[in-house]
Amino acid sequence: MKSKQSGITLIGFLIIIVVVGFLAYMAMRLLPSYSEYMGVTKAMNQIATEGTNGKTLNDIRRSLMFKLGFQYVDDSTVKPSDITIKRDAGGSSQLQVTYDKQVPFMYNIDFLMHFSKTVPLQGNVGQ
């Protein structure tokens, strides 16, 4: 009587291990950047809820950069020039942070990630 074997071979198992290992390595390289982005989002929401009556763009930048330090966001990631305020025709203001992050992966392969977040501000922003 013949029995039919089922399962994967050693070669198939090694291929699966290599693919899973590659994806795990990629996740380990990219997750800190997304964690940093979550810190930027949290700091921006704190600034938006505080109110910005009479604050200038430089005051808002300084306050946001201070809050980013508590969120473990590196100073080289978000620069003050990446922080802008957009004004709508209706007079409302929005805080916008747009930055790029380059993450080395392996050899000469890098990931370039573009992050952009906009939150509405409460109050009037000074000049």
**Reading across the β-sheet that carries 83-87, which strands appear in turn?**
83-87, 93-106, 109-120
Segment 70-84 mean pLDDT: 87
Residues 6+ apart with CB under 8 A from 86: 93, 94, 96, 118
The string of pLDDT tens digits covering residues 32-67 is 999 999 999 999 999 888 877 778 888 888 889 999
Concatenated DSSP letters of 16-30: HHHHHHHHHHHHHHH
User: Where are the domains positioned within the chain?
Assistant: 10-120
The string of pLDDT tens digits covering residues 87-125 is 877 778 888 999 999 999 888 999 999 999 999 887 666
Report residue 126's pLDDT band, with 50, 70 and 90 as the boundaries. Answer: low
Dist CA 45 CA 119 (whole Å): 7
